[in-house]
Amino acid sequence: MAEPLGFPLLAGNPDPCLRDGKNYPLTVLLDGVPEYLFAKGVAPASALMAMAAETARLLSVRYAGRRLLLVEVREGGGIFAGLVHRQLAGLGAETGLRAEPGNIKVRSYGQGSRATAPRVVKPLCDARGRELADCSKFDAVVLLDDLIDAGHTAIWLAETYLPRFAAREVAVCTMLDKERPRGREVEAALCRIVLSSGLRVADDWLVGYGLDMTVPGGGATPDLHLFRPPLPGGVYAFNTALEPRLTAAYQADPQGLRRQLASYVSAE
């Protein structure tokens, strides 16, 4: 499993666990046996930063002199949106782009890696948390999300949900784009709405930089959310063979698994 040092959370590197004062384990102990958490490195941090910079440049040129609502699609799109906003801070002044932040929370996955039909958990809001009912004052609404997977969430938001708010134009920018079959109708719809689809990556279960997995607690135990913050090195492919065993271990001993994976745990 040796990988370049750009992905330190993989086996074969000399000191993979310590970064910024935190201990990031490579393995989890299941039934007394250490099992590797990650299958491979997918997108290095440097490439993710460059993609955010390129997205900001593209927006600053396309929407020069215009008023834009940049919508962070939570939870996954938060980190990418933050990177794009920081890059736009300087570019907007040069091109006259007026970009205002907004957010919406959409749930597109159930437990673990299972996709579900998209549904809005928290409505479209501005940066102060005020619900937006009308987007007609903006020249365009741009969704910033972590990745295009099946494509259904992006299409539903851009072509069904946001038009209800009188959005003049809706576009989508993502950090990653999975290489997977989607069918002609879905691909045609994505071509209509996607301005920048990000880095092309394999159809793996991805974690880090906003991408996470949910381990169901069952009963009174809350679900466990793992791997969402920026991981040392970039985005990784999770070792999906562990998913059922992680679930069993968490439901049997929630605090024990939390202690093992403390650096990876995030609030929903």
pLDDT digits (tens, 9 = 90+) for 170-181: 999 999 999 999
Specify whether the CB–CB gap between 40 and 231 falls below 8 A: no
Give, for 144, the enclosing helix (H) or strand (E).
strand 140-148
3-state DSSP helix/strand/coil % of the chain, to nearest 5: 30, 35, 35
Does the pLDDT value for residue 203 go beyond 80?
A: yes
β-pairing verdict for 234-238 and 38-44: antiparallel
Distance from C-alpha of 215 to C-alpha of 221, rounded to nearest angstrom: 11
The residues, ordered by sequence, that sit 6+ positions from 186 with a Cβ below 8 Å of its Cβ are 150, 151, 152, 155
Does the pLDDT value for residue 112 go beyond 80?
A: no
pTM above 0.85, yes or no: yes
Residue 2: pLDDT band with limits 50, 70, 90 = very low
* The residue type at 228: R
Q: Which CATH class is domain 45-201?
A: alpha beta
Considering the chain, what percentage of its residues have pLDDT values greater than 70?
A: 93
- Phi-psi region at 133: left, alpha or beta (left = phi > 0; alpha = psi -120 to 50): alpha
Q: Encoding tokens for residue 33?
A: 């046996």
Does the pLDDT value for residue 246 go beyond 90?
A: yes
Cβ count near 72 (within 10 Å):
25
CA atoms within 13 A on the CB side of 225: 13
Does the pLDDT value for residue 251 go beyond 50?
A: yes
Distance from C-alpha of 116 to C-alpha of 114, rounded to nearest angstrom: 7
pLDDT at 207: 97
Does the pLDDT value for residue 113 go beyond 60?
A: no
Q: Which of 23-27, 57-61, 116-120, 252-256 has the lowest mean pLDDT?
A: 116-120
